[in-house]
Amino acid sequence: MKNPDRETVSRLEDLPNIGKACVVGLRLIGIDHPRRLAGKDPMALYKQLCAVSGRRHDPCMIDVLMPVVDFMNGGQSRPW
């Protein structure tokens, strides 16, 4: 499991539970740095991703977004 320092992590790929497909989705909605996740609403991010891409994404994406947003807000790194 990835266990980055939230204060110094600079790549989305280094966040816990984030794979290549998630990185593509996050960048599609303007999230290009881990710090941009802090304070965000995971459900709003998911809805934005679906709207921008023009398709409904697998709801598992919500399960990825919730812990990574929590992590960037100061929570513990948790496996997906």
With a pLDDT cut of 70, the percent of the chain lying above it is: 95
Domain spans of the chain, in order of start: 12-72
Q: Are 77 and 3 in contact (CB under 8 A)?
A: yes
Distance, CA of 50 to CA of 30 (rounded, Å):
13
pLDDT of residue 1: 54
Spell out the residues 6+ positions from residue 75 whose beta carbon is closer than 8 angstroms to its own. 67
Spell out the residues 6+ positions from residue 57 whose beta carbon is closer than 8 angstroms to its own. 25, 46, 49, 50
pLDDT of residue 76: 85
Q: For residues 1-17, give the mean pLDDT.
A: 86
Q: What is the pLDDT of residues 56-75, one digit of tens each?
A: 999 999 999 999 999 999 99
